[in-house]
Amino acid sequence: MNSNIKKVGFYFFGLLCVAVGLYPIIYFVLDRRFGLLGSKTADLLTNTFWNIGFYGHIILGGLALLIGWLQFNKNLRSKNLKLHKRIGKLYVITVLISGFCGLYIAFFATGGLISKLGFMSLALIWLYSTIQGYRFAKNAEIIKHQYMMIYSYAACFAAVTLRIWLPILGELFGAFIPAYRIVAWLCWMPNIIVAFFIVNNLKKKSLSV
Protein backbone atom coordinates (compact mmCIF):
# COMPACT_ATOMS: atom_id res chain seq x y z
CA MET A 1 0.00 0.00 0.00
CA ASN A 2 2.79 2.41 0.99
CA SER A 3 4.64 1.50 -2.22
CA ASN A 4 1.57 2.30 -4.33
CA ILE A 5 1.13 5.68 -2.63
CA LYS A 6 4.78 6.50 -3.36
CA LYS A 7 4.31 5.54 -7.02
CA VAL A 8 1.19 7.68 -7.38
CA GLY A 9 2.96 10.56 -5.65
CA PHE A 10 6.01 10.24 -7.90
CA TYR A 11 3.97 10.23 -11.11
CA PHE A 12 1.83 13.14 -9.92
CA PHE A 13 5.09 14.98 -9.23
CA GLY A 14 6.20 14.05 -12.76
CA LEU A 15 2.90 15.26 -14.23
CA LEU A 16 3.36 18.68 -12.61
CA CYS A 17 6.92 18.86 -13.96
CA VAL A 18 5.83 17.98 -17.49
CA ALA A 19 2.87 20.40 -17.43
CA VAL A 20 4.96 23.36 -16.27
CA GLY A 21 7.91 22.27 -18.40
CA LEU A 22 5.68 22.66 -21.47
CA TYR A 23 4.22 25.94 -20.19
CA PRO A 24 6.70 28.18 -22.13
CA ILE A 25 4.96 27.11 -25.37
CA ILE A 26 2.12 29.46 -24.37
CA TYR A 27 4.40 32.47 -24.90
CA PHE A 28 4.76 31.50 -28.57
CA VAL A 29 1.02 30.98 -29.09
CA LEU A 30 -0.71 33.77 -27.16
CA ASP A 31 -0.16 37.52 -27.02
CA ARG A 32 3.17 38.48 -25.44
CA ARG A 33 1.38 40.44 -22.71
CA PHE A 34 0.18 37.13 -21.30
CA GLY A 35 1.08 36.07 -17.75
CA LEU A 36 4.21 37.53 -16.15
CA LEU A 37 4.99 39.56 -19.26
CA GLY A 38 1.87 41.60 -18.58
CA SER A 39 3.73 43.36 -15.76
CA LYS A 40 6.70 44.37 -17.95
CA THR A 41 7.19 47.75 -19.62
CA ALA A 42 7.10 48.16 -23.40
CA ASP A 43 10.76 49.25 -23.36
CA LEU A 44 11.84 46.08 -21.57
CA LEU A 45 9.81 43.85 -23.89
CA THR A 46 11.65 45.31 -26.88
CA ASN A 47 15.10 45.00 -25.26
CA THR A 48 17.10 42.42 -27.25
CA PHE A 49 19.31 41.28 -24.37
CA TRP A 50 16.38 40.93 -21.98
CA ASN A 51 14.45 38.89 -24.56
CA ILE A 52 17.43 36.57 -25.08
CA GLY A 53 17.66 36.15 -21.30
CA PHE A 54 13.93 35.62 -20.84
CA TYR A 55 13.45 33.07 -23.61
CA GLY A 56 16.73 31.34 -22.80
CA HIS A 57 15.56 31.02 -19.21
CA ILE A 58 12.03 29.74 -19.84
CA ILE A 59 12.85 27.40 -22.77
CA LEU A 60 15.94 25.76 -21.28
CA GLY A 61 14.46 25.87 -17.77
CA GLY A 62 11.34 24.18 -19.09
CA LEU A 63 13.47 21.47 -20.69
CA ALA A 64 15.39 20.97 -17.42
CA LEU A 65 12.08 20.55 -15.60
CA LEU A 66 10.79 18.15 -18.27
CA ILE A 67 13.74 15.77 -18.08
CA GLY A 68 15.05 16.24 -14.54
CA TRP A 69 12.35 14.33 -12.67
CA LEU A 70 13.19 11.17 -14.65
CA GLN A 71 16.59 11.08 -12.93
CA PHE A 72 14.91 10.18 -9.64
CA ASN A 73 13.46 6.98 -11.13
CA LYS A 74 15.44 4.13 -9.55
CA ASN A 75 14.53 1.71 -12.34
CA LEU A 76 15.93 4.05 -14.99
CA ARG A 77 19.18 4.50 -13.06
CA SER A 78 19.70 0.79 -12.43
CA LYS A 79 18.57 -0.56 -15.82
CA ASN A 80 19.98 2.09 -18.13
CA LEU A 81 22.89 3.96 -16.57
CA LYS A 82 24.01 5.32 -19.96
CA LEU A 83 20.63 6.99 -20.51
CA HIS A 84 20.75 8.36 -16.96
CA LYS A 85 24.15 9.92 -17.69
CA ARG A 86 22.99 11.38 -21.02
CA ILE A 87 19.90 12.91 -19.48
CA GLY A 88 22.08 14.18 -16.63
CA LYS A 89 24.50 15.92 -18.99
CA LEU A 90 21.61 17.50 -20.90
CA TYR A 91 20.08 18.63 -17.61
CA VAL A 92 23.35 20.28 -16.52
CA ILE A 93 23.69 22.12 -19.86
CA THR A 94 20.10 23.38 -19.73
CA VAL A 95 20.49 24.50 -16.11
CA LEU A 96 23.72 26.39 -16.81
CA ILE A 97 22.14 28.34 -19.67
CA SER A 98 18.76 28.85 -17.98
CA GLY A 99 20.37 29.66 -14.63
CA PHE A 100 22.65 32.38 -15.98
CA CYS A 101 19.78 33.78 -18.08
CA GLY A 102 17.62 33.73 -14.94
CA LEU A 103 20.31 35.54 -12.97
CA TYR A 104 20.42 38.25 -15.64
CA ILE A 105 16.66 38.80 -15.93
CA ALA A 106 16.36 38.79 -12.11
CA PHE A 107 17.88 42.28 -12.21
CA PHE A 108 14.69 43.39 -14.01
CA ALA A 109 12.22 41.51 -11.80
CA THR A 110 8.90 43.23 -11.12
CA GLY A 111 8.50 44.33 -7.51
CA GLY A 112 11.82 46.01 -6.87
CA LEU A 113 14.75 44.91 -4.71
CA ILE A 114 12.85 42.26 -2.73
CA SER A 115 11.83 40.39 -5.89
CA LYS A 116 15.26 40.85 -7.48
CA LEU A 117 17.12 39.42 -4.48
CA GLY A 118 14.71 36.49 -4.24
CA PHE A 119 15.14 35.42 -7.85
CA MET A 120 18.89 36.11 -7.84
CA SER A 121 19.26 33.86 -4.79
CA LEU A 122 17.26 31.13 -6.53
CA ALA A 123 19.42 31.33 -9.67
CA LEU A 124 22.65 31.16 -7.64
CA ILE A 125 21.46 28.17 -5.58
CA TRP A 126 20.32 26.37 -8.73
CA LEU A 127 23.63 26.98 -10.49
CA TYR A 128 25.79 26.13 -7.46
CA SER A 129 23.99 22.88 -6.58
CA THR A 130 24.00 21.72 -10.21
CA ILE A 131 27.69 22.50 -10.78
CA GLN A 132 28.61 20.81 -7.50
CA GLY A 133 26.44 17.80 -8.36
CA TYR A 134 28.15 17.47 -11.74
CA ARG A 135 31.59 17.83 -10.13
CA PHE A 136 30.82 15.07 -7.63
CA ALA A 137 29.62 12.79 -10.46
CA LYS A 138 32.86 13.40 -12.40
CA ASN A 139 34.85 12.50 -9.27
CA ALA A 140 32.76 9.34 -8.77
CA GLU A 141 31.43 10.68 -5.45
CA ILE A 142 27.99 9.31 -6.25
CA ILE A 143 26.31 9.79 -2.87
CA LYS A 144 27.33 13.46 -2.70
CA HIS A 145 26.25 13.80 -6.34
CA GLN A 146 22.79 12.48 -5.49
CA TYR A 147 22.43 14.83 -2.54
CA MET A 148 23.39 17.88 -4.57
CA MET A 149 21.08 16.99 -7.43
CA ILE A 150 18.18 16.77 -4.99
CA TYR A 151 18.90 20.39 -4.06
CA SER A 152 19.30 21.28 -7.75
CA TYR A 153 15.94 19.88 -8.74
CA ALA A 154 14.29 21.41 -5.67
CA ALA A 155 15.43 24.77 -7.05
CA CYS A 156 14.27 23.79 -10.55
CA PHE A 157 10.86 22.82 -9.13
CA ALA A 158 10.40 26.47 -8.12
CA ALA A 159 8.91 26.93 -11.60
CA VAL A 160 6.03 24.71 -10.45
CA THR A 161 5.61 26.12 -6.95
CA LEU A 162 5.70 29.69 -8.28
CA ARG A 163 2.65 28.93 -10.42
CA ILE A 164 0.88 27.36 -7.46
CA TRP A 165 1.61 30.15 -4.98
CA LEU A 166 1.20 33.20 -7.24
CA PRO A 167 -2.57 32.89 -7.92
CA ILE A 168 -3.20 32.04 -4.25
CA LEU A 169 -1.26 35.06 -3.00
CA GLY A 170 -2.77 37.23 -5.74
CA GLU A 171 -6.24 36.42 -4.42
CA LEU A 172 -5.11 36.90 -0.83
CA PHE A 173 -3.55 40.33 -1.36
CA GLY A 174 -5.78 41.45 -4.21
CA ALA A 175 -2.75 42.88 -6.01
CA PHE A 176 0.07 41.45 -8.13
CA ILE A 177 3.11 43.34 -6.77
CA PRO A 178 2.95 42.32 -3.08
CA ALA A 179 2.14 38.75 -4.11
CA TYR A 180 5.08 38.64 -6.52
CA ARG A 181 7.51 39.98 -3.90
CA ILE A 182 6.57 37.16 -1.56
CA VAL A 183 6.53 34.48 -4.25
CA ALA A 184 10.07 35.46 -5.31
CA TRP A 185 11.14 33.78 -2.06
CA LEU A 186 8.25 31.43 -1.33
CA CYS A 187 8.58 29.62 -4.68
CA TRP A 188 11.96 28.14 -3.69
CA MET A 189 12.67 28.40 0.06
CA PRO A 190 10.21 25.65 1.16
CA ASN A 191 11.54 23.46 -1.68
CA ILE A 192 15.10 23.76 -0.37
CA ILE A 193 13.91 23.03 3.17
CA VAL A 194 12.12 19.88 1.93
CA ALA A 195 15.29 18.90 0.03
CA PHE A 196 17.30 19.36 3.24
CA PHE A 197 15.03 16.95 5.12
CA ILE A 198 15.12 14.41 2.26
CA VAL A 199 18.93 14.53 2.14
CA ASN A 200 19.15 14.35 5.94
CA ASN A 201 16.86 11.32 5.96
CA LEU A 202 18.98 9.60 3.28
CA LYS A 203 22.12 10.28 5.33
CA LYS A 204 20.53 8.72 8.42
CA LYS A 205 19.48 5.65 6.41
CA SER A 206 23.01 5.22 5.02
CA LEU A 207 24.48 5.41 8.54
CA SER A 208 22.05 2.80 9.88
CA VAL A 209 22.95 0.26 7.17
Q: Does the model's pTM come out above 0.95?
A: no
Tens digit of pLDDT at every position of the chain (209 positions): 577 888 899 999 999 999 999 988 888 887 766 677 878 888 999 999 999 999 999 999 999 999 999 999 888 888 888 999 999 999 999 999 999 999 999 999 999 999 999 999 999 999 999 999 999 999 999 999 999 999 999 999 999 999 999 999 999 999 999 999 999 999 999 999 999 999 999 998 887 75
Number of Cβ within 10 Å of residue 84's Cβ equals 16
Contact 18, 66 (CB under 8 A): yes
DSSP code string of 63-120: HHHHHHGGGG-HHHHHH-HHHHHHHHHHHHHHHHHHHHHHHHHHTT-TTSHHHHHHHH
Q: Is 202 left (phi over 0), alpha (psi -120 to 50) or beta?
A: alpha
pLDDT for 148 equals: 98
Confidence (pLDDT) at 209? 58
Angle at 205 between CA 202 and CA 209, to 5 degrees: 140
The Cβ of residue 79 has, within 10 Å, a number of other Cβ atoms equal to 10
Neighbours of 144 (CB within 10 A): 15
How far is Cα 183 from Cα 178, in angstroms, rounded to an integer?
9
Q: Which of 125, 126, 104, 107 is nearest to 115 (CA)?
A: 107
| Domains, the chain, ordered by start | 2-203 (1.20.120)
Q: How far is CA 79 from the centre of its chain?
A: 26
Residue 44: DSSP 8-state: H
